[in-house]
Structure 1
Amino acid sequence: MAGILPNHQQPHHLNHENDSWKKNLRLPPKDHRPQTEDVTATKGNEFEDYFLKRELLMGIFEAGFERPSPIQEESIPIALTGRDILARAKNALLLVPTRELALQTSQVCKTLGKHMGVQVMVTTGGTTLKDDILRLSEIVHIVVGTPGRILDLAGKGVADFSECPTFVMDEADKLLSPEFSPIVEQLITYFPKDRQIMLYSATFPLIVKSFKDKYLVKPYEINLMDELTLRGVTQYYAFVEERQKVHCLNTLFSKLQINQSIIFCNSTNRVELLAKKITELGYSCFYSHAKMLQSHRNRVFHDFRNGVCRNLVCSDLLTRGIDIQAVNVVINFDFPKNAETYLHRIGRSGRFGHLGLAINLITYDDRFNLYKIEQELGTEIQPIPPVIDKRLYVAPSALDDAQTQQIQNNQNNQNINSQNNQNIQNIQNNRSQSHQNHQSHQNSRSSGGMRNTNARGGGMGVKAAS
């Protein structure tokens, strides 16, 4: 949730007289990855059409946003009128049920508002209250945080929301669950009666409707999701025994072109055990769960987001809202118990309409749950094929780079072999050829037996298309 100070306390604005302001923008490289229709099917509006402050537009463009998405097209003009909003979509404005989401959201606010002098404060549990008290003694325009900490600040009189006109919640279904709902309802009492409330989520269970009827005034309702599943994410399952899972995961790592992956387990203990196994297999791996120190969680999240590590094993702590564009593969090492968790997990890949891959390791005990989730989401999770087309989850530019590198490697190998052949005797050539034939035969036998699952941990035999 985020609080925004009243207009008379907002930062001073920059000079608007320079008509060539766009020429001075420091724009990031363009993202040429294909996007799904649910993100690209806009009305053709531009951010300038909404008469936003130029300083805000500068922050938007320099953050890499060229045109508003469908949910932004629907939300921005309504939000500017001060009307309450109930919006259902995959992408939203603010993300705050967990500490990681609060950190991510605050960074987005800072990026968008950097030309406006906006001061953003992030506050979450697990950090010292003293630092927050000192920070609030200075000018703060936007507060982003988790419900418990914000209520604590309001209850102690440290944060005054009596003149704060805007109250925004994303992942509203989580914030209004029994875990958070009493805190949120109590927090609302610290806001003025004419405050504006905006709720965003991919799912809206009955508990959200109850909250809407009680606290929102004739909200403008936006529903941009006719179907729950994410269009850009290809979903597969591999039927394995529990003891085969690690071997199956190893096969996936060796066959898939993973940019970054998130691997979900159903308990904190299994998170740590699996992360250790992955590291022992020789792959870079971080892990994160709710029982870790907040400082450690922050470091893991920051490093993974910056590409320090390729694989992240976690519990459902990171199922909601985490927006890491580089993640193109999600693996459910443990299959989730309900459709809502499944939906949020696989949504960590295919962010903002880009392509992604979700692979579920299914045991005998999961088979009924798999069917139930398929029915509830109105989707079909296909059995994993022997060949997974890379075009389903890899950006075209990455495919080109990989193919170029493979060609270069092949050429280098050919040059090396040619040079060696000129300097060695015929008998050595014969021995080398014999060794290569033997090795090729062994590899052929090995790959040929990977497609079938067997009791000794044969795996699921994924082969990635070249």
Structure 2
Amino acid sequence: MATARTANPAPMAGLNKPANGQLRGQTKTGGQQSELLSNVQHPSAHKRTSIPQSSGGIKFGDDWKKCLELPPKDTRVKTSDVTSTKGNEFEDYCLKRELLMGIFEMGWEKPSPVQEESIPIALSGRDILARAKNGTGKSGAYLIPLLERIDLKKDHIQAIVMVPTRELALQMSQISIQLSKHLGGVKIMATTGGTNLRDDIMRLDETVHVVIATPGRILDLIKKGVAKVDKTQMLVMDEADKLLSQDFVVLIENIISFMPKDRQILLYSATFPISVQKFMSKHMQKPYEINLMEELTLKGITQYYAYVTERQKVHCLNTLFSRLQINQSIIFCNSTQRVELLAKKITQLGYSCFYIHAKMMQEYRNRVFHDFRNGLCRNLVCTDLFTRGIDIQAVNVVINFDFPKNAETYLHRIGRSGRFGHLGLAINLITSDDRYNLKNIEDQLVTDIKPIPSSIDKSLYVAEFHSVDAEDGGEEKA
């Protein structure tokens, strides 16, 4: 195996306190160091363009594409999950030029399969029930038509995007703002629990066109009469299976009761349990159904298990860190207590590590999410809080330190690597108690989780290798 050590940035002031989820260890010496986030450009690192916010800066006859400041071209291998398209271009959908500018400056060159299916239907105003894999472009599939249909002459809330976690709301608002930066005045607001309600009330006193929210907070604002949704024409539910679970479904039903009867509803998810079918028959008008899930597991993600005892887990993790070439890794535990204990252990081993879980203060969660997404640390330990929709392109390794109990959780966890058809590695630490769950998940997902070999071919999960067959995920070495 090729070896790689964690290349840690210099500690920043105020980040060495364990309470904020950002633990830092001393970088180990020796071994080959892989450059942090190689070949990956984070959205937040894109340069701001000098083009004015409205189209006034582009004169008739100008080649507007020459004025764009595009991110570096992504030349990494991609799987057929995102490359098996009909060959459409974003220009084919008659989108506003200013929106196209935002799309291209995001680095989105051509629509993915779910975007090809969704965008024209959503633009027509029809309800959509879309099932597509994690990391295949679902966000763009609904944000592009949503932003295209915003009428700047109207000063009320025109669209709501509902998501199950605060981190996902933050991520969606950042993407929306980047996509709409040339549209000349689209007002986007993120509102979630754990933040100051008074601030949200003051913001809603001014014009807001798009609200990206978690269910509890937006319902609170609606009931207070602050968020007026009686003219809201579009409701998007991302990670719909979670939003329609017992945790949220009552809140969702309540929110819909305040909206007009002729609103458009777009549902997106990787899995569709029976709760989604019930909701569809009750609230949706002949929805257009998109199913891009012939098989559940993601192509391009190689899955292994290591059979260990509980006491051997930390040692095994240390071995993986020393031998794998990790851009960034996410390590999952089944409880908040184990997250903090493991993060402390990883730091003691000499590796830099952040952690995040639902019991942390929201300001710390936001800071950890932002800093990890921007590449300030290589390893993140978390609970299932971080499984839903979180898109960090640099993550190429996911480790289940604690194996999940069900197939749905497993699918969402390993989907944090291999984003947008890129290659990734999922390694599961299995104890004797996990044997039944391992077999059950393999059967449900119709997949094969193999024993970990003594050496793992880097071309299975490292971006700079381009000789891998994107269809079969490459060959493993013994």
Q: Same fold (TM over 0.5)?
A: yes
Corresponding position: 1:269 with 2:310 = no
> Which one of the candidate residues 217, 222, 229 is aligned to 1:161?
229
Corresponding position: 1:58 with 2:101 = yes
CA drift at 1:139:
1.6
> Which one of the candidate residues 295, 298, 302 is aligned to 1:227?
295
> Paired residue for 1:173?
241
> Paired residue for 2:33?
none
Provide the secondary structure at the position in 2 that maps to 1:396: coil
> Paired residue for 1:98?
165
CA drift at 1:316:
0.3
> Paired residue for 1:456?
none
Structure 2 contact 304–426 (Cα < 8 Å) conserved: yes
> Paired residue for 2:4?
none
> Paired residue for 2:91?
48
Matches within 5 A, 1:234-253: 234-253=302-321
CA drift at 1:19:
3.5
Deviation per CA, 1:138-162: give whole Å up to 9, x if none. Answer: 1211110100000001010000011
> Paired residue for 1:182?
250
Say which structure, 1 or 2, has more relative contact order (CA 8 Å, 6+ apart). 2
- Alpha-carbon distance in 2 for matches of 1:465, 1:269: 37
Residues 97-106 or 114-123, more deviating: 114-123
Structure 1 contact 238–361 (Cα < 8 Å) conserved: yes
Over 2 Å off, 4+ runs: 12-19
> Paired residue for 2:352?
284
> Paired residue for 1:132?
200
> Paired residue for 2:111?
68
- Alpha-carbon distance in 1 for matches of 2:317, 2:80: 31
- Alpha-carbon distance in 1 for matches of 2:122, 2:63: 29
Provide the secondary structure at the position in 2 that maps to 1:337: coil
Structure 1 contact 330–345 (Cα < 8 Å) conserved: yes
CA drift at 1:397:
6.1
Deviation per CA, 1:99-141: give whole Å up to 9, x if none. Answer: 0000000000000000012211000000010000111111211
Provide the secondary structure at the position in 2 that maps to 1:359: strand
Structure 2 contact 162–236 (Cα < 8 Å) conserved: no
Deviation per CA, 1:280-306: give whole Å up to 9, x if none. Answer: 000010000000000000000000000
- Alpha-carbon distance in 2 for matches of 1:334, 1:200: 28
Structure 2 contact 162–235 (Cα < 8 Å) conserved: no
CA drift at 1:14:
2.6
Provide the secondary structure at the position in 2 that maps to 1:292: coil
Instruction: Name the Cα RMSD after superposition.
Output: 1.6
- Alpha-carbon distance in 1 for matches of 2:232, 2:278: 24
CA drift at 1:38:
1.6
> Paired residue for 1:446?
none
Amino acid at match of 1:233: I
Provide the secondary structure at the position in 1 that maps to 2:55: coil
> Which one of the candidate residues 358, 378, 385 is aligned to 2:426?
358
Matches within 5 A, 1:7-406: 14-15=55-56, 17-90=60-133, 91=136, 92-93=138-139, 96-116=163-183, 117-396=185-464
- Alpha-carbon distance in 1 for matches of 2:131, 2:420: 14
Provide the secondary structure at the position in 1 that maps to 2:312: helix
Structure 2 contact 162–213 (Cα < 8 Å) conserved: no
CA drift at 1:165:
0.5
- Alpha-carbon distance in 2 for matches of 1:236, 1:266: 19
CA drift at 1:324:
0.0
Structure 1 contact 95–321 (Cα < 8 Å) conserved: no
Amino acid at match of 1:55: E
- Alpha-carbon distance in 2 for matches of 1:14, 1:137: 28
CA drift at 1:465:
7.7
Amino acid at match of 2:398: V
Instruction: Give the structure with the higher percent helix.
Output: 1
- Alpha-carbon distance in 1 for matches of 2:465, 2:70: 20
Provide the secondary structure at the position in 2 that maps to 1:388: coil
Amino acid at match of 2:447: T
Aligned length: 391
Amino acid at match of 2:388: R
Deviation per CA, 1:312-359: give whole Å up to 9, x if none. Answer: 000000011000000000000000000000000000000011000000
- Alpha-carbon distance in 2 for matches of 1:303, 1:38: 29
TM-score (norm: length of structure 1): 0.82
CA drift at 1:18:
4.2
Amino acid at match of 2:434: D
- Alpha-carbon distance in 2 for matches of 1:265, 1:142: 35
Deviation per CA, 1:210-243: give whole Å up to 9, x if none. Answer: 0000000000000001001011100000000000
Structure 2 contact 192–214 (Cα < 8 Å) conserved: yes
Deviation per CA, 1:344-403: give whole Å up to 9, x if none. Answer: 00000000110000000000000011000000111110000011000000012699xxxx
Deviation per CA, 1:395-449: give whole Å up to 9, x if none. Answer: 12699xxxxxxxxxxxxxxxxxxxxxxxxxxxxxxxxxxxxxxxxxxxxxxxxxx
Larger-gyration structure (1/2): 1
Provide the secondary structure at the position in 2 that maps to 1:387: coil
Structure 2 contact 171–390 (Cα < 8 Å) conserved: yes
Instruction: Give the % identical residues.
Output: 72
